[in-house]
Amino acid sequence: MSLDTVAKAQANPDAVQPFAELGLKPDEYASIKEILGRRPTSSELAMYSVMWSEHCSYKSSKVHLKQFGEKAVKSDALLVGIGENAGVVDVGQGYAVTFKIESHNHPSYIEPYQGAATGVGGIVRDILTMGARPIAIMDPLRFGPADAPDTRRVLPGVISGVGGYGNCLGLPNIGGEVVFDQTYLGNPLVNALCVGVMKHSDIKLAKAAGAGNLVVLYGAKTGGDGIGGVSVLASETFESKGPAKRPAVQVGDPFVEKVLIECSLEIFAEDLVVGIQDLGGAGLSCATSELASGGSGGMKVQLEKVPLRDPSLSPEEILMSESQERMCAIVEPSKIDRFLEICKKWDVTSTVIGEVTDGTKLEITFNGELIVDVPPRTVAHDGPVYNRPLAQPAYIDEVAKEVINPPLPTTASEIKDTILKVAATPNLADKSWVTDQYDRYVQGNTIQSQPDDSGMVRIDEKTHLGVAVATDANANWSYLNPYEGAKLALAEAARNIATAGAKPLAVTNCLNFGSPEDPGVMWQFAETVRGLADGCLEMGLPITGGNVSFYNQTGTVAILPTPVIGVLGVIDDVRTRTPMSFKDAGLELYLLGATDDNMSGSEWAYIHGLRGGIAPIADLAREMRLIDLLVAGNKSELFTAAHDLSQGGLAISLIEMVLRHNVGATISIENPGISLLSETPGRVVVAVKSTKVSELESLATKHSIPLAKLGTTGGVALVINDSVIPLTELSAAHTETFKKLFG
């Protein structure tokens, strides 16, 4: 098959093209023809197909996501908002912080190690692209049942992929989630979050401005991996004589990325780029069209100059390849020598592949022949928009009728059995088997990491300024009520920041859902977006960006709606943070927030096979009062420890607190079953010195938050009423689960 050029497309307008195999619908293909006034060349078709894919174009979610802009709070903290590679927030002292979550779900099911590894690599490049030094990563993960044979294939591979890539980049892993549910068995969720820091003046954007400026591709050479990873690709529709079908999963090389990070930061420090974009999903198609449309629009690229790992790649494949560890920069001609010199110092391949023009077209040639001639906006931004049908699924009303009454413990031995069961259940058990495979110390700024409520890193060693990040999702609640579920996850993530004394500042999200072509799933999605937008508006938190992952399902069964919400907070002095547990005996333990008897969506109900009932209604005004209380109490050094209550309720929070430093507690509670296992939102356990109880009481009164005495710290057991659970026994139950399951 010979090279398909613009001239040939004009001369031969009726050639049959494999648009359907590339994932384009007939009407989408027709609108490409209308935009161009002719049929696309095969290279243009390749570009449109990947850029108009759900992953890149957000075509099903766009109409809903615009609420994030419409309902946005006016925030002085937001320096760069939605639309760029990642949002940027002002955290004071001249520092800006950028953070974002992305999904790498499907690749991680096919090839767990590489899927997870390149998920980390991709999000780190997004953060780097903003001009920031990446400083930490987190990874919210979801898998099928812990004892399912396939989970034993997927989970260990994903964990070593996250660790293998992140550890080699020198990024501390400061937290995340590991949750199990049947619906994730054929479709695990691998989300990765990265945080980066820079000075305000160093923010970089994806734009190709200034005619005559050079387009430079640097980093790894382009290979045949990950072709069409974002779209539905059948590679045999291209050159039949080329290399055989390749996996759509990219293969990562963290060493190349580490060098790319250091090289890029040195380039940024000398102010050598006008604009920059990483090559992730849709590769060069995405980078060139987004850079061009972010600038004045004109760009010429000579595709044969792209350095190749595999010389047999066709132009279409070069445009679609998702080979990792590549960046594209726009550089003024006067600065190119220095740019190339820094790349040489780091042994990074860098090649000038084109230039910015004062035209309006993205023109790509291959050995002198024009193969792409398009208005770049039509590729990057003017993709199709669907207002897909949505309908409340029938299950919503059915589950709401269910009364959720799992058996509750009353006697001393029942309480002990319950506590040991909660401690050991896979969703709540100690996750050290996972997190010990991640480096949490590198860079020397980690203040908090798993199992703390949030991850916290110091960003200035002299002033002690720091940021905290938490990610949360409660898919059980989102399943019962996606609108409330989104608000509740937002509240929980914000609370997890505040327990340490940090002030919540901004929100990101990764919305994991089933197929948007299912009206029920689309309804779940729409309700989630509405809930998150309303919640952020009420809490005064800007949304800085996010990611949507659709088509997470096995056959016709969708995953539970899983909106992972990330909240970033700032703390003026990390030395004064409130830790999640206590080291001393004789402290008073109190519960902030009231407990009700709704067990719907709780972990205890899940353990008993119950998934129904009515989700709690989020009371964000109360959540904000609680956050204010926690931040104020931290400032006045009131708390010795503070720990959030969420999945697993008071039971797991007490277990985690006593096991952290092996200091027990004696608790006295009425109605122990509900008190220990209810997951009523908006609650926190705090430990204070006995001299500070009256200060705590007046602070709780001031913020209208109910306060109840739980007990005191000390001893070598967790004692609940007349039930005594030795810490040794409790620790064994909590820590052995993962070792037994995964070796």
Partner 1 sequence: MKIGVVTFPGTLDDRDAARAVRHAGGQAISLWHDDADLKGVDAVILPGGFSYGDYLRCGAISRFSPVMEPLIAAAKGGMPLLGICNGFQVLAEAHLIPGALTRNQHLHFLCTDQKIRIENNNTAWTSSFSKDQEIVIPLKNGEGSYQCDDETLKMLEGEGRIVARYIGENPNGSRNLIAGISNERGNIVGLMPHPEHAIDSLTGPGEDGLGFFTSVLQSMISGGAK
Give the active site residue among 64, 104, 106, 734: 104
For position 265 contacting partner 1 by CB under 8 A, the verdict is: no
- Name residue, tokens 């999605």: 525
For position 445 contacting partner 1 by CB under 8 A, the verdict is: yes
Of 241, 646, 724, the residue nearest 473 (C-alpha) = 646
For position 731 contacting partner 1 by CB under 8 A, the verdict is: no
Please choose, out of 160-168, 584-592, 646-654, 688-696, the segment that lies near partner 1 by the rule CB under 8 A: 160-168
Selected from 289, 365, 378, 446, the binder of partner 1 by CB under 8 A is: 446
Selected from 204, 440, 611, 643, the binder of partner 1 by CB under 8 A is: 440
Selected from 175, 254, 376, 485, the binder of partner 1 by CB under 8 A is: 254
**Shortest distance, CB of residue 169 to partner 1, whole angstroms?**
8
Closest to partner 1 by CB, 458 vs 487, is 458
Selected from 195, 248, 447, 674, the binder of partner 1 by CB under 8 A is: 447
How many helices (DSSP H) and strands (DSSP E) are in the chain?
Answer: 26, 28
Closest to partner 1 by CB, 150 vs 573, is 573
Specify whether 64 is catalytic: no
Alpha carbon distance, N-terminus to C-terminus of the chain: 52
Residue 350 · residue 340 · CB < 8 Å: yes
x-or-dash string of contact with partner 1, 195-234, rule CB under 8 A: ----------------------------------------
Selected from 26, 37, 444, 555, the binder of partner 1 by CB under 8 A is: 444
For position 587 contacting partner 1 by CB under 8 A, the verdict is: no
- Name residue, tokens 């993960």: 141
**Shortest distance, CB of residue 586 to partner 1, whole angstroms?**
22
Specify whether 55 is catalytic: yes
Instruction: Tell me which DSSP letter residue 308 carries.
Output: B
**Using omega within 30 degrees of 0 as the cis cutoff, is the peptide bond preceding 376 cis?**
no
x-or-dash string of contact with partner 1, 334-353, rule CB under 8 A: -----------xxx------
Closest to partner 1 by CB, 579 vs 649, is 579
Closest to partner 1 by CB, 446 vs 508, is 446
Residue 323 · residue 250 · CB < 8 Å: yes
For residue 174, CA distances in Å to 132, 137, 468 come to 18, 6, 10
Give the active site residue among 55, 64, 106, 734: 55
For position 721 contacting partner 1 by CB under 8 A, the verdict is: no
Selected from 110, 255, 411, 704, the binder of partner 1 by CB under 8 A is: 255
**Dist CA 695 CA 707 (whole Å):** 12
**Shortest distance, CB of residue 57 to partner 1, whole angstroms?**
35
Residue 34 · residue 2 · CB < 8 Å: no
Of 456, 479, 685, 689, the residue nearest 576 (C-alpha) = 456
724 token code pair: 């005594």
The residues in 161-190 that bind partner 1, with binding defined as CB under 8 A, are 163-164, 167-170
Please choose, out of 106-114, 117-125, 248-256, 625-633, the segment that lies near partner 1 by the rule CB under 8 A: 248-256
**Dist CA 226 CA 256 (whole Å):** 17
For position 365 contacting partner 1 by CB under 8 A, the verdict is: no
Q: Which residues contact 665 (CB under 8 A, 6 or more apart)?
A: 589, 654, 657, 658, 710, 711, 712, 713, 714, 715, 718, 719
**Dist CA 31 CA 43 (whole Å):** 16
For position 125 contacting partner 1 by CB under 8 A, the verdict is: no
For position 256 contacting partner 1 by CB under 8 A, the verdict is: yes
How many residues of this chain interact with partner 1, rule: CB under 8 A? 33
List alpha helices for 90-245, DSSP H. Answer: 105-110, 112-129, 149-169
673 token code pair: 């079953």
For position 259 contacting partner 1 by CB under 8 A, the verdict is: yes
For position 478 contacting partner 1 by CB under 8 A, the verdict is: no
Cross-sheet strand order for the sheet of 87-92: 78-80, 87-92, 95-103, 189-199, 133-143, 173-180
Q: What positions carry a catalytic annotation?
A: 55, 104
**Binding footprint of partner 1 on the chain (CB under 8 A):** 160, 163-164, 167-170, 253-256, 258-259, 345-347, 435-447, 458, 461, 574-575
